[in-house]
Each structure stands twice: as C-alpha cells, then as structure tokens.
Chain A
Amino acid sequence: MQELVLIQPGGRAQEESARETALAEARREFESRLAECGPLAYRVARGVLRNSADAEDVAQEALLRAYRSFDRLRDRSRFRGWLVRISYRIALDRLRSSKRREQRDTEWGQPEHQPPSPTAEDLAASSEFQVRLERALEELPEKLRFVLLLAAVEGHTIEQISEMAGVSVGTVKSRIFYARRQLAEKLRCHVNLSRTR
C-alpha cells in the first residue's frame, strides 16, 4: 500500500531557516568556549609533543573536531574535559606517527636522529633538566602522563582532573603520585650527577 505524506508549502524553507538558526547558535556557543578552552587544548598538545608548531596544529585539529561534533555533546558543562581528551588523543597519534617516521628514516640510513628544530620558545625553556624531564615524561605510561599534564596545566584541582579524565578522585591521586615518582627516579641520576660536579 502506498503511503502518502502531506507536505505543507513553505515547510522546507522553515526547516532550513531553523537549521541555519541552530547552526548559528551552536557557532556562537562554541566561540564563547573557544577563547577559554583553546589554550588548554594547545597546552595539552604541547605537553605531549614538546613542539610549539605541532602543538598548534594539533590544537587546531582538536578544536575543529570538537566543533564538528559539538551538537552531539549533550552536557555542555563537560566540554572542557571532552576537548582535552580529543586534543590528547590527536597529540598522541601524531607523536606515534612521528616516531614511526623517525624510525623509518633511521632505518633508511640517515646518519642520526635529528630532533625537530626547536622554536625560540622551545630554546628558551630548554635547560638540561627541562630536556631530561620532557624525555622522562615521554616515557611515562599514557594514563599517568595524562593526569600529570592536566595537574600541571592551568593549576587544575584533583576534582577537575577527575572530571576531565573521567576517572575517580582516588585514581587521579594515585596516578599523579606514581607519575611524579617515576619522573623523579628517571631524573635522580641527573640531579646527583649535577650536584657532584
């Protein structure tokens, strides 16, 4: 049996105008959060990648992805944590792919691994301890690194980190504890050596 649907004249135009209004509303709301959360996305990416240019690309990508899926985020109060997780995942993916690329380049007979050329900002921040710390941070398990980064970024509280990471407060505390201890173990030699000099 054929089913007929009555279409009101002008219904389509109304639909389109409603959609446009919704889009404009979503854009406005996203923009209001962009100024607040954009830097956070960048800092999380920078903490993982240790390179300003890459971090900027990743933050941009994360923000665009967040915008595209913004209408699917029902609880807008979770935007911050959601964006942080997107940014962290993209940064990790990029880090892994760049590591694979470096490995491939090495295998293809390049003389030595050349780290990405540091920016002026990178150079300013790179004391020997800092460099070692960042290397040690890179070697941390992802879960520990994530909470430690969040703890360091913009002075988030344990509760905020718990919400952003989607784990309990106790888990956040223990992860931060183990992360700091592992970093300290990796850096202890350096500290002892520098004291004996």
Chain B
Amino acid sequence: MPCEPFQDALIEAAASGEEPRGELRAHLKDCAACQAVFDREQSLFAGVDSGMRVVANAEVPPSLLPRVRARLDEVTAPRYQAWLPKWYVLAGASAMLAFFFVLQSFRQPGMEQKPVETSANTTQASPQTNSPQKEKPSTVAAPNSAFVVPRTHAYAERVHVSRSVSNAEPHPEVLVPRDQEVLLALYAKEWRGQKPAPMVVTDSNDSGLKPLEVPPIQIAELDVKLLAESDAQ
C-alpha cells in the first residue's frame, strides 16, 4: 500500500494528539516506516509542548511583586494629589471663560460710543461729533430721524456702563448754534441722568417701544475758525 496518501493524515493525527483511527491506524500497523515517522512526529509535538511549558512557565523573580507594590504606593499618593490641582485649574479656566463671555456680551461694536460727544479741542459744532474711528454708520442720525438711534437692549445696558466709566473723564464740550442750546441742554440732562434715555436707546425690532420722535436739529452754517486764529482774537 502506498504511504503518500497518509502523510498529511499522519502529521495531523500527531498534531492533534489523538490516536490514529480508521485507515491510518490500519496502515500504521502494516507500515513500519510510517509508524516510525508517526512516532517521530509525536515526539516532535511532545517536544514543542514541553518546550512551550518551559518558555511559558519561567520562574517568577521574587522581586516582581514587591517592586509592583512599591510602584503602586508611589502611584496612589500623587494620583490623588494631582487630581485636585487639575480641578482647580479647570474651575479657574471655566470661570475665566465665563467672565470673558459675560464681558463680550457687553463689548459689542459701538460700546464706547456716546451719542453726543466731541473732543474738547474740536471746534466743529455738531450733536454727532464723535471721533471718526468710533463712529458707526448706524449711529449717525439720518436727517429725518435726528436722535433716533436703533439699538438693542444690550446696548442700553452698555450705555449705562460706559456712562459710569466716562464719569471719570472730563465732560466733553459740545458746541452748537445758539438756537439749539436748549435742545442740547435737554439732551445732556437726559444723558447725565441715571434713567435710560429711550430717545437714544431703543430697539428698532421691538414693536412695543417706539422711538421718540424728535424734530431734526437745524444746524446753521458754522463759522469755523482755526484755533490759532481764535486764540489771537
């Protein structure tokens, strides 16, 4: 009987560790050469298994567990201590962020703008003589809507804040024609007062609040003189 068909079955039987069955068993009984190969394969696999046990079951160094325990002691203590500062840092960062957002909600464009403000050195007389870099198109009164400046409620609060800040500064000098001084005085009174001035701070989107209708200021032609010239006079 030829041995070749049994070669693979022989190795598989040895690998599985089971006793050969059926035809293979019968063949091994008759074929001494195959029986020798099978014995060799079995011893090879036994060698692999025993070698693996040597590899896998090495003596554990006695220093292992004490070393691990010492490291655990090290890890446990700083772990708790390090946890707290992290929380403090996180809480601090959160507080800073919250503060920043609150601040941002007040610091909208045009915050530092005052409805009527001129530089002390400015000789141009106009109720809307804001410095150019602070001026926004929305704050410039249209001819028909003189002091009606559409703003949000947030702006109303901001005006309040900026007003209190600007109290420390000297009051700006506003030069207007003589016939408009009364109106300006009224406006200035409203501006200095602590109550919100609806004619300045109103929400155009809010249907409940209607902007105060103020007749447009008639600005007469100004006689602008150079400072040096006026000083000389």
Contacts and interface: CB of A to CB of B under 8 A. Distances in A.
A38 B58 contact: no
B73 to A, nearest CB: 9
Interface residues of B, number: 35
B143 to A, nearest CB: 42
Interface stretch (B59-67, B189-197, B211-219): B59-67
Interface residues of A, number: 48
Given A187-B47, A187-B48, A43 B76 contact: no
A35 B65 contact: yes
Determine chain B's interface SS by DSSP, over half rule: helix
A148 B52 contact: yes
B16 interface: yes
Contacts of A52: 58, 61
B55 A47 contact: yes
B25 interface: no
A62 B37 CA distance: 44
Contact of B69 (A34, A46, A68, A137): A34
Interface string A53-86: 0011001100110011000000000000000000
B51 interface: yes
Interface of A: 19-20, 23, 27, 30-31, 34-35, 38-39, 42-44, 46-47, 50, 52, 55-56, 59-60, 63-64, 67-68, 121, 125, 129-130, 133-134, 137, 148-149, 151-154, 177, 180-181, 183-184, 187-188, 191-192, 195
Interface of B: 11-12, 15-16, 40-41, 43-45, 47-49, 51-61, 63-65, 67-69, 71-72, 75-76, 79-80
